[in-house]
Amino acid sequence: DAKTTQPPSMDCAEGRAANLPCNHSTISGNEYVYWYRQIHSQGPQYIIHGLKNNETNEMASLIITEDRKSSTLILPHATLRDTAVYYCIVRVLNSGNTPLVFGKGTRLSVIA
Amino acid sequence: DSGVTQTPKHLITATGQRVTLRCSPRSGDLSVYWYQQSLDQGLQFLIQYYNGEERAKGNILERFSAQQFPDLHSELNLSSLELGDSALYFCASSPSLDTGELFFGEGSRLTVL
The pLDDT score that the predictor gives to residue B1 is 87
By three-state DSSP, how is residue B85 classified?
A: helix
Amino acid, res. A26: T
- The answer to whether A104 contacts B56, with C-beta atoms less than 8 Å apart, is no
Give how far Cα A81 sits from Cα of A37, A49, A57, A61, Å. 11, 21, 18, 17
Candidates A43, A46, A102; nearest CB to B101: A46
Residues in B lying within 8 Å of A, measured between beta carbons = 2, 4, 31, 33, 35, 42-43, 45, 48, 50, 55-56, 58, 88, 90, 92, 96-107, 109
Beta bridge partners of B64: B78
What pLDDT was estimated at residue B21?
98
As a whole number of angstroms, the distance between CA A29 and CA A33 comes to: 11
Instruction: State pLDDT tens for residues A4-32.
Output: 999 999 999 999 999 999 999 999 888 99
What are the tens digits of pLDDT across the range B42-77? 899 999 999 999 999 998 999 999 999 999 999 999
Contact B33 A99 (CB under 8 A): yes
